[in-house]
Amino acid sequence: MLNRFTADYLETLGNADFVAAPRVSGRLASFDGLLMEAVGLTLPVGTVCKVGEGSASVEAEVIGFRNGRTLMMNLGGPAALLPRAPVKPIGPPGEAEVGAALLGRVVDGAGKPIDGLGPIRGAGRWPLAGKLQSPLDRGRVLQPMDVGVRAINGLLTIGQGQRVGIMAGSGVGKSVLLGMIVRAAQADVIVIGLIGERSREVADFLETKVAGAARARSIVVAVPANHSPVLRIRGALRATAIAEGFRDEGKKVLLIMDSLTRVAHAGREIGLALGEPASARGYPPSAIAMLPNLIERAGVDVHTGGSITAIYTVLADGDDGNDPVVDSARSILDGHIVLSRQLAERGVYPAIDIGPSVSRVMTDIADAPHVRAARVLRRNLATYEENRDLVLMGAYRAGADPAIDNAIACHGAIMEYIRQDSDEKVSLGDAVAELVGVFGG
């Protein structure tokens, strides 16, 4: 026993690469339930630390510095921490596990599996913040993607590598529409980030929207609303990093994030805790500035041929289309799908409001007859909506305006085209054929 210890000890001393490194440790100086301040250690932003000892400990992430103190945000729940509790780094600035080992799995914001299927083995690594790319590394969106929803395939055609927002108030059908897309989307891998949602909705989404064959090619990152704001942001970054890892392999990835607004809310909590001034409706500048960094990571990679088609849900607080998050997302995304509460109240599902919705790449990926038919439908729908009150009150006389007469005649067909059952799947080819057949004359 002694000889073996001596041999191991001498072998260690003989290792030329061995460098003695002191243990880094500090002390907790301040804690208000969310924000912690530590003294006695200097660590880069993003480092994960253990605060406290034994069962009375919690994990925290370094988020900044102030007056010689290290600022950290609590990553876990409540803990019985005492003044001057030890603070020790336990992990480097973030990396995400990526690769085929994650297919069919459900992880939390820290990357830990929560599906009861054991540890994840054989995964690769990818920076949480992504790898910075040149604008010329991004390819154009030239190929359509079939999402199985007639109104989107025909009127708001989505391309491989496009970034789209689904914008609506609460309870209008965003999650149901996402479920329809997940079940029908023609993608190699589907990465779903459920950020800031209710825990019940997470379980419901897994059981009803990602069931069957879709589960085997899906990866879910679930961070409910009661988790730390840092974990919620990490969940969004992790879902995007996982999608980037597959894109780097040349795969066609569908990234779904529900919701982008909850990510902005998490950024608002952190910014206000750091003392940033609140500007637009209580959002500090950093919360809004974070959105472009997240959205711009999706797209087509010209080197590998892989693509990330990203669909973000954006909650319009109070159905306000001028909400700062909605307005910022609209300016960055390559298209947006607006859901209307009025249509939902009339029993039209999915409640897609065609007028304000747009796909900015549709003219690049759809042929001329398809585009013309879509414009005819839009024109007739807009004409009907402009004169809806006159028609319903009986103030309009048939024959007074041929455009209005045509819009009234087409309105029933338009509503039938938009309406679709949640368990029904309409392929891109069928949606285009029906649109051109009815409105292409």
- What is the predicted pLDDT for the residue at 369? 95
Kindly state the DSSP code that residue 342 receives in the 8-state scheme: H
CA atoms within 13 A on the CB side of 171: 3
Q: Which residue has the tokens 């993608």?
A: 187
308: closest CA among 239, 394, 213?
239
Nearest to 27 by CA among 3, 64, 63, 53: 53
Render pLDDT for 224-266 as a digit per residue (tens, 0 to 9): 988 888 889 999 999 999 999 999 999 999 999 988 999 999 9
For the chain, give every residue range classified as CATH 1.20.1270.330. Answer: 370-440
Every domain range in the chain assigned CATH 2.40.10.170: 24-89
pLDDT per position as a tens digit, 304-335 = 999 999 999 998 877 777 788 898 999 899 99
Return the CATH architecture of domain 370-440. Up-down Bundle (1.20)
C-beta atoms surrounding 3 within 10 Å: 7
C-alpha span between 384 and 428 (Å, rounded): 26
Query: What are the start and end residues of each CATH 3.40.50.12240 domain in the chain?
Result: 95-364
Q: Given the structure tokens 């309870």, which residue do they identify?
A: 171
Query: What does CATH list as the number for 24-89?
Result: 2.40.10.170
Segments of the chain scoring below 50 in pLDDT? none
Which CATH architecture is the domain 95-364 placed in? 3-Layer(aba) Sandwich (3.40)
Q: What pLDDT is attached to residue 71?
A: 92
Query: Is 119 exposed, middle or buried (CB count within 10 Å of its CB: 0-12, 13-18, 19+)?
Result: exposed
Q: CA separation (Å) from 204 to 103, 179, 228?
A: 19, 11, 22
pLDDT for 20 equals 53
DSSP H helical ranges for 117-228 = 150-155, 174-184, 199-204, 213-216
- Residue 233, amino acid: I
End-to-end CA distance of the chain: 91
- Helices vs strands, H then E, count in the chain: 15, 20
